[in-house]
Amino acid sequence: MPARTETAPLPVRLADYQPPAWHVDHADLVFDLGIDATEVTARLTLRCAGTPAQPLQLDGEGLEPLAFVLDGEPLPDDAWRAIDGGIEIDGARNGSVLETRVRLHPAANTTLEGLYLSGSREAGFLLTQCEAQGFRHITWYPDRPDVQATFTVTLRADRERFPVLLAGGNPDGAGELADGRHWARFVDPHRKPSYLFALVAGRLEKIEHPYRTADGHDVAIRVWSEANVIDRCAYAMDALIRAMRWDEQTYGRNYDLDVFNVVATHDFNMGAMENKGLNIFNAKCLLADPDTTTDDEYRRVEAVIAHEYFHNWSGNRVTCRDWFQLSLKEGFTVFREQSFSADMNSRPLKRIEDVSLLRRAQFPEDAGPLAHPVRPAQYREINNFYTATVYEKGAELVRMLAGRLGTEGFRRGTDRYFADNDGRSATIEDFLAALGSANATDLTPYLAWYGQSGTPHVRARGHYDATAHTYTLTLAQHTAPSHDQPRKLLLPIPVRLALFGPDGQKLALHLDGQTSVAGDETVIVLDQPEQQFVFHAVPARPVPSLLRGFSAPVVLESDATAADIALLLRHDSEGFNRWEASQQLAAHAFRNLRDHAGEAALDAWCDTLAALFDDDALDAALLADLLTPPGEVELAERETSVDPQAIHVLRETLLARLATRIGAARLDARHAALAARASAALDAPSQAARRLKQRVLQLIAHLDAAHASDLAHAQYHAAQGMTDRLGALAVLARHDAVRGAATLAHYRARYANDPLALDKWFTLQAQLPGEGALARVAALETDPAFTLKNPNRARALLGGYATGNPTGFHRADGAGYRHYADRLLDLDALNPQIAARLATAFNGWQRLEPRRREAARTALETLAAHPALSRNLAEIIGNVRKG
C-alpha cells in the first residue's frame, strides 16, 4: 500500500456551527453492485436554505466520478471543481435535481467505512458503515446529521452471487433483470441523515418472527447471518422482542416500519449500528449459544440488541444536530439500555457492572491527556470521539437527571422531548429544555456537566454531637484543572444517602431545613465549594452510606474508618453500596500494604468477607463481586507514580490473604457444592452459581496451585458451556504450564473454525501477566488465524495485551511499548479507526514511574515522527503526547 501523506485537518469547533446552506429533500440511489467495482447513481432533490448564490458543496472522499447532471443537463467541466474533502458545483438553485454517478471499489476497502466486503471474495457479502462520515465514501452528499432526507434505494446485482438484497426502509418491489441479475427497491418514508444509510448484499440466511406493536402495527422481524451460524441467532431475536416490548411499556415508543432487519458480520469497526430498519451488528454482539458464549457475553448481546433498537427513537427519529451532540443520542441510549438490562437481570449487579466499566475506562480517560467533555468544544477527527466519556459518562448524566425528576417526571420529560423534536436534529439544550419544561424545573445548571472534562472529587467528613444528638455531614467538591480547561466550574452533584446505626440498621432522617421526615434515605445536592448538612434526632454516632446507587459520577473521599466501612459491607441494604464498601476496604488494605502502615484495613476486609462467605441469603453473584478487589487499572488510578509490577504483586497478596482467611476447607466445600449444580441454564441463579464458582476456584489457586489445576482440568472437560470452559482454561494457563499448554492446544483445535471463540483464546493468552507476555503475543501474531484486517482479532490480541495486561505491556525495558507502536503502524495502514482506538492504551503514561515513563515517551515520539500517519492516529498520538 502506498504511503499516505495526509495533512492534519483544521479543528471543527462547536462555536463555529452554522446551519447547512443546502438541504436534500429526497435521495434516490441506485447501486449496481460488484465486489471489485460498484457504481452508484444518486439523484438528489435539493433545497436551498438561503440565497442560492452560494455554490453547492458536497462531501465526498475516494470516489471515482463518472457523471454530473444538473436539472437534466450534463455539467460542463468548468461548472464543478474539487475542494478539500468534496466538490463544489455552480448553477444549483432551490428545487434543482442533481444526478451523479461514481465508481467504488469495495474489495479494496480495508477501512471498513463506506461500502466494503466482509469475508472472502468467494463467500463474503457487501455491506456499509456510514456513521460518522462514511456516506461520503459512497456518493457526493452533504454528509452531516442536520441534513435529513427521505430515501429510495434500488439495488441491482448478480442473483447467484448476491441472492439477498437489503436496504433501510420498507420493501417496495423486486424483480429479475437480464444476464442473471435481479433488483430490489426500498423506501424509507422517515427523514434521516446520511449516517443512517445502510445496505447489505450477499448469501445470507434468516430467522423471522412476526411482531405486533402496542399501537397495532404488524412488523416482520428478520435476523440474518451466514448459514453456518444462523442457529446462533435465536437469543438475539428473543432479546430484540423483549426490548421492543419494554420500550413500548417504559417510554411509549413503538416501531414505525413494516420490517426490521438485523444482520451479523465478523468485519465491523464498532459493536453495532442503528441504521433505520437495517441494523448491522458485529457478530460478537449478536451470535450466541452455550458452547461458544459466556454469561457475560449473553448479557452483552442482550444489551447491544436493546441499545441499537432504542436508537430508533433516541437517535433516528430524533437525531443530533451536529457531532458535538453525539452524547445526546449515545448517552441517552446507553442509559435506556442499562435500565432495560437491569429490569431483565439484577439491578444491583447491573449497577456494579456499569460503574466498574466507568472506573476502568472513563475515569482514566478523564484524568489524562485524552480528557474531553461529554460535549467536546472541538475535534479534528470525529471517529476519535466515540469514547467512554461520550457513552458511559453521558449515560451517568442522564441518570442524574432521571434521579432528579423521579420516574414519572422523567417519563413526562422524555415524552415532551420526543414530541417536540420528532424528525428534528436536536441539541443537549433541547433535551434539558424538554425535561425541565415538562416538570416546571430549571435544569440548565446541569449543562455544566456536559461542557466540563474531569472527574469531580467529593470530600466527606462527619461530626457527631452526642449531647445534641446531631450529625453534621460536610461535603466539598473539587475538579482538578486539565490541559483543556485550567479553571473548572462548580457542578450540581446529587448525593443519595442513608445513615446506619452501630447495629447496622438504617436510621430515620431528620434533615435540617426539611419540614417532614425524609424517611431513611434522601438526596442532597452539593452545588457549592463546601456545604454542611445537619441531621437531628440521631441516637448514636452513625455511619453514612453516600452516593447510594452511585448517584453521581464522582470520586468519593471520606473520613470513614475501616470499621465504618466494614459495617456497611456487612449490613448495607443497597447491593451496589455493599460492593462499594468492599472496594473501598480493599483499596484501604492495598494502601496499608504499600505503605507498610499496619493491617487494620486488611484484617477488616478479610474478616468481614470470611464471615459473609457462607451466608446462604447473600446472592451468589453479589458475593463473587464482593470477593473481587479493585483491578490493577483501577488501583493504578489512585497512584501518583505507577509501578504496574508492584501493583500486581500487592493485589495478589490481597487475594492470597483473603483466601487464607476463608480457609482451604471452606473454599473446597463451596466449590464442590457449586460444581454439583453445574448446568448450561441461563437463569439468574445458574449464572450466579457459575460466577461464584469461578471466583472460588481463583482463590483456591492462591492457596494451592496444584489442587486448583486438578479442579480446573476436570471443570474444563466436563463443562456444559463456555463460561465454565473458559474460566477453567484461564486458571490452567496461569497456574499450570504443562496442563495449560495442552488445554490451550485442545481449545485451539476445537474452535479452529469459530472466529468468536478464537478471539477469546487470543485474549486469554495476551492477558497472562508478566514480562513473558510480549514473547507470547509475538508468537500468537504468527498463528494462521491472526490478522490485522479483522478488528475483532486485532482488539482480541493487541487490545487485550495493552489494556488488560499491565505487567506485560508496561515492561520496564520498554519493549512492550516498542512492539505495540510497530503494530499500530501496521494497523494504521489498513484501518485508521481501529489503530487510533487501540492507541489510547498509551493514555496515562505520564504517571508511570520514571523508567517506564521515559520508555513510553520514546515510543510515542517515534510514532509521532512517522511520515504517513492517518489523521485518526495522528490526533490520538498528538493528544496523548502533549498531556
Contact (Cβ atoms closer than 8 angstroms) between residue 52 and residue 78: no
Cβ neighbours around 122 below 10 Å, total: 7
**CA distance linking residue 723 with residue 726, whole number of Å:** 6
Give the residue among 409, 414, 492, 393 at the shortest CA–CA distance from 447.
Answer: 492
Cβ neighbours around 121 below 10 Å, total: 9
**CA distance linking residue 880 with residue 883, whole number of Å:** 6
Positions marked catalytic: 308
**CA distance linking residue 404 with residue 410, whole number of Å:** 8
**CA distance linking residue 541 with residue 471, whole number of Å:** 8
Contact (Cβ atoms closer than 8 angstroms) between residue 769 and residue 800: no
Cis peptide before 132, with omega less than 30 degrees from 0?
yes
**CA distance linking residue 44 with residue 48, whole number of Å:** 12
Residue 658, classified by CB atoms within 10 Å of its CB into exposed (0-12), middle (13-18) or buried (19+), is buried
Contact (Cβ atoms closer than 8 angstroms) between residue 317 and residue 419: no
Contact (Cβ atoms closer than 8 angstroms) between residue 258 and residue 170: yes
Cα–Cα distances (Å) from 877 to 371, 381, 475, 866, in that order, read 13, 12, 38, 11
Contact (Cβ atoms closer than 8 angstroms) between residue 323 and residue 132: yes
Cα 106 to chain centroid, rounded: 28
Cβ neighbours around 195 below 10 Å, total: 24
Q: Are strands 56-59 and 170-176 parallel, antiparallel or unpaired?
A: unpaired
Sequential DSSP letters for 760-776: HHHHHHHTS-STTHHHH
Cell numbers that stand for 197 in this block: 444509510
Give the residue among 586, 635, 588 at the shortest CA–CA distance from 606.
Answer: 586
Contact (Cβ atoms closer than 8 angstroms) between residue 571 and residue 545: no
Give the residue among 391, 412, 390 at the shortest CA–CA distance from 401.
Answer: 412
Please, what is the Cα angle at 850 between 844 and 854, to 5 degrees?
Answer: 75
**CA distance linking residue 375 with residue 762, whole number of Å:** 35
Residues 6+ apart with CB under 8 A from 380: 8, 9, 10, 11, 12, 871, 875
Residues 6+ apart with CB under 8 A from 125: 117, 118, 119, 162, 164, 200, 201, 202, 203, 204, 226, 265
Contact (Cβ atoms closer than 8 angstroms) between residue 153 and residue 186: yes
Strand extents, DSSP E, 78-196: 80-83, 86-89, 97-104, 114-118, 125-129, 149-158, 164-167, 170-176, 181-192
Contact (Cβ atoms closer than 8 angstroms) between residue 413 and residue 181: no
Cα–Cα distances (Å) from 765 to 101, 105, 635, 797, in that order, read 49, 37, 23, 8
Cell numbers that stand for 207 in this block: 430467522
Cell numbers that stand for 837 in this block: 482506538
